Amino acid sequence: MHALDVEEIVSQLGLDEKISLLSGGSFWGTKSIPHLKIPALRFSDGPNGVRGIRFWNGPPAACLPCGTALAATWDTNLIKEAGRLMGTEAIAKGVHVSLGPTINMQRSPIGGRGFESYSEDPVLAGNMAASIIDGVQSKGVASCIKHFVCNDIEHERQAIDCRVSERALREIYLMPFQIAQRDSKPKAYMTSYNKVNGLHVSENQRLLQHVLRDEWGFDGFIMSDWFGTYSATESVRAGLDIEMPGPPRVRGTNINVSLGNRKLAEHEVDERIRNLINLVNRVVPLGIEENAPEGQLERPKEVAPQLRKLAADSIVLLKNEGSVLPLNRNRSTAVIGPNATVAIYSGGGSASLKPYWLVTPLEGIAQYVPEVKYAEGTTNYKQLPVLSRLTKTSHGKPGCTAKFFNEPHGDKNRICRDEIYTDVSEMLLVDYAHPDISPELFYMDLESTLTPEVSGEYEFGCSVRGTAKLYIDGELIVDNATKQRQGSTFLGAGTLEERGSKVLEAGKTYQVVLRFGSSLTQKVKKKGATAMRGGGVRVGGCLKVDPVAELDKAVELAKGVDQVVICAGLSGEWESEGFDRPDMDLPMLQNRLISAVAAVNANTVVVNQSGTPITMPWIKEVPVVVQAWYGGNETGNGIADVLFGAVNPAGKLSLSFPVRNEDNPAFLNQRSEKGVCVYGEDVYVGYRYYERTKRDVLFPFGHGLSYTNFSFSDLSIQSDLVSLRVSLTVKNSGDRAGAEVVQLYISQVECPITRPPKELKGFEKTFLQPGEQKQIEIEMQTKYATSYWDEERDQWASEKGEYKVFVGNSSVNVLLKGSFTVSKSTWWRGL
């Protein structure tokens, strides 16, 4: 690749070539024009790792903790280094543009992609986004921030009209993008699926051109989310540079028609082409050739310490009565719960990827104690565990063999045209391609053998985007083809899991075959679901057990040990792109298990893994609660390091944990109602609402305990019309080294409109040895510290008057107070 003369290229392009560049050339990239040396750029999902260009059976990658976990570190330097790692991984995979970070707002705890975004607070989200973008782009890779804007829930996400006041849009939903644009200048933006105030964002000229380009000065590239372009002319005129993915569904010939009838002018097309060529020039220094081999890090284990630190530093110690933590390494220990022997490393959907390796909590804990006892206690799976855990290929390798055909089973002319080994019986095939396989309509046989270790009744299940039937020794066990029920699988486009059972004998080998038809064969179709060429299938299975008996076994185990760790929570099955959670509760018998174990063992530690809040009806029954999120490759080691004191916890909640879902400010407006969602809570998202209404929460925004103690003193405030500087002394008054987060909140004393009691405006994390103290200074622009959006003037307003300063280590634990005065009122726009 080499730099291109933008105007010369535009002048040489034929009209058909220009039109072709307005849409993707493939599922994961742009179109090339070889005779003008315009290369195809490669994109890859990148909110918490760089997957590459294959959802299924691609090379592995480093998986970082989820978005809410990264934000829970409150450590911009650490997150910048994480971005640098992602940039390095992108280069190894031949990726020019990393599709992340995701920085939509958690206006409701049950949003399906809440785990993927950073925070309920725009300042925390914006600063974290800027840091990771700086890291990614320091390697020369372009970062594509997403989803611009208000892609905050999954229900009817392509049809929903998010009706939000201009004030809330500016102060809450656009603000993290504004901060990232101001501080890190991402090279690309991705538009959201939804409408904002009546118009889809992908064709919203006011947002894309007037706000993003004209007001904020963005001069980069804007792409649609995948299948998120709904018009040809309108989207081009609004400022959307490219429809993704390719080949085009909406643009293509429709652009030619619009040019012919003059609904669209060629110079408007040229402007979109210029932005694409400019993006090419910005990633030229990478030296990544078109269609480069998709590789991986040369020595992935070298990044294990970095991933382990990210996992541990994101963990939040919510409660530690009686100083049960750190655990004693010499005491008898039991690990109980469904998340103990499974590494819950990521949420679901496009944020998921194949990790280089995984460490489970049980494996991490086993490194600290001489002997650890284990009981599952209960399950928490939504669908049956993947069957590939139990199967082998005909050659004895763990997993299955996938055979691909153009003809359905039973066709006498059927020819196997591709055969692939896979170690997992779950596959999303939207980017599967083979020169001899039809991309639209194809069939697959997934073959394996199953030799049970235990005799008994086994349950099998299958969900599909397409059609599927599961056979064991030729007997039909699961039919998800003849009759199908709409479900939320496969980004919301798939079926419910259908189940069947069969009694199997230990030691006997059974032939297992799944017969799959691609997405065109599916009988039930969900209105508004993401279009999905190829489709996907998931096959699960396990021995049926008595859930109450398993719980009783766990309780008996807990009675006989000194200390218990319960590994509970959710997973990518419950938190995923494509659907929202039905409630905030832990599934299955987890709440019952926690209460029962806590009743027989006073040293019970609950480790919860979820990307967003859960209810805790047992909160007064247990002495310790740890929020461990989805921690990436090293999730088990990060948990164990905190539990046994190798790492002093320093994470702080990136979002409030309400007592109940009914308490959250968006409860009455957290889904699409015939295509409309009214953001009735306005600017009162998260802690802004709980403090304004004086409503109790389970744990407040910014909360997090430590194994040591810190004190704040010597508050000093200096301000003028340009800048605000707040300094203070932080001292570690305990006997362990640790880190504390100084959180700065500001409130306007007198205002003509109602504002939240206080709002986060700055923060700083500092590490201190026992007895050590440091002076911390937080500086910001006065206009960002004081302004609200004045709808009457359609500008930001920084008003004359007094402002209070609150400094603490959570939104409710204020340790120092002060004030400053703004001498005159000003109004402003832009950055």
Q: Alpha-carbon distance 396 to 731, whole Å?
A: 60
Catalytic residue among 45, 134, 161, 225: 225
Same domain, 526 and 551: no
Phi-psi region of 287 (alpha: psi -120 to 50; beta: other; left: phi over 0): left
Q: How confident is residue 528, by pLDDT bands cut at 50, 70 and 90?
A: low
Share of the chain above pLDDT 90, in %: 98
What integer pLDDT is reported at residue 527 of this predicted model? 75
What does pLDDT average to over the chain?
A: 97
Sequence-separated (6 or more) residues with CB below 8 Å from residue 250: 23, 229, 230, 231, 232, 235, 243
Answering whether pTM is above 0.85, one says yes
Same domain, 164 and 26: yes
Residue 574 belongs to a domain: yes
- Catalytic site includes residue 225: yes
CB 230 within 8 A of CB 202: yes
What integer pLDDT is reported at residue 545 of this predicted model? 93
The last residue of a domain, from among 697, 726, 748: 697
Residue 29 belongs to a domain: yes
Give me the mean pLDDT over the 522-527 stretch.
86
Q: How confident is residue 379, by pLDDT bands cut at 50, 70 and 90?
A: very high
Tokens 């390095």 belong to residue: 88
Is pLDDT of 530 > 80? no
Q: What is the pLDDT of residues 225-255, one digit of tens each?
A: 999 999 999 999 999 999 999 999 999 999 9
Tokens 């102060």 belong to residue: 171
What are the phi and psi torsion angles at 308 (to 5°)?
Answer: -65, -40
What are the distances in angstroms from CA 42 to CA 46, 290, 554? 12, 8, 49
First-to-last C-alpha distance (Å) of the chain: 34
Give me the mean pLDDT over the 343-372 stretch.
96
Residue 280 belongs to a domain: yes
Query: The domain that contains 602 carries what CATH number?
Result: 3.40.50.1700
What integer pLDDT is reported at residue 526 of this predicted model? 78
Residue 114 belongs to a domain: no
Give me the mean pLDDT over the 165-188 stretch.
98
Q: How confident is residue 2, by pLDDT bands cut at 50, 70 and 90?
A: confident
Share of the chain above pLDDT 70, in %: 100
Tokens 């007198």 belong to residue: 750
The last residue of a domain, from among 218, 252, 285: 285
Same domain, 569 and 620: yes
Same domain, 402 and 437: yes
Same domain, 657 and 569: yes
Task: Identify the burial level of 828 via C-beta atoms within 10 angstroms of its C-beta, where 0-12 means exposed, 13-18 middle and 19 or more buried.
Answer: exposed
Sequence-separated (6 or more) residues with CB below 8 Å from residue 765: 73, 74, 75, 76, 650, 739, 740, 741, 742
Same domain, 507 and 598: no
CB 687 within 8 A of CB 681: no
Query: The domain that contains 415 carries what CATH number?
Result: 2.60.120.260
Give me the mean pLDDT over the 598-615 stretch.
98
What integer pLDDT is reported at residue 278 of this predicted model? 98
Q: What is the pLDDT of residues 46-74, one digit of tens each?
A: 899 999 999 999 999 999 999 999 999 99
Q: What is the CA radius of gyration of the chain?
A: 27
Give me the mean pLDDT over the 720-739 stretch.
98
Same domain, 468 and 577: no
Q: What is the pLDDT of residues 731-741, one digit of tens each?
A: 999 999 999 99
Residue 63 belongs to a domain: no
CB 416 within 8 A of CB 473: no
Same domain, 480 and 622: no
Same domain, 513 and 407: yes
Give me the mean pLDDT over the 756-775 stretch.
98
Residue 84 belongs to a domain: no
Give me the mean pLDDT over the 451-479 stretch.
97
Q: Alpha-carbon distance 483 to 499, whole Å?
A: 12
Is pLDDT of 334 > 70? yes
- Residue 565 belongs to domain spanning: 301-381+546-697
What are the phi and psi torsion angles at 127 (to 5°)?
Answer: -70, -40
Total domain count for the chain?
4
Give me the mean pLDDT over the 585-606 stretch.
98
Same domain, 580 and 613: yes
Same domain, 640 and 758: no
Q: What is the pLDDT of residues 657-672, one digit of tens each?
A: 999 999 999 999 999 9
What are the phi and psi torsion angles at 96 (to 5°)?
Answer: -90, -30
Give me the mean pLDDT over the 169-187 stretch.
98
State the number of CA atoms in the 13 A half-sphere of 699 facing the CB: 24
Residue 139 belongs to a domain: no
Is pLDDT of 341 > 70? yes
The last residue of a domain, from among 253, 285, 317: 285
Residue 402 belongs to a domain: yes
Task: Identify the burial level of 440 via C-beta atoms within 10 angstroms of its C-beta, where 0-12 means exposed, 13-18 middle and 19 or more buried.
Answer: exposed
What are the distances in angstroms from CA 315 to CA 228, 286, 321, 661? 35, 35, 17, 23
What are the phi and psi torsion angles at 711 (to 5°)?
Answer: -130, 145
Same domain, 402 and 453: yes
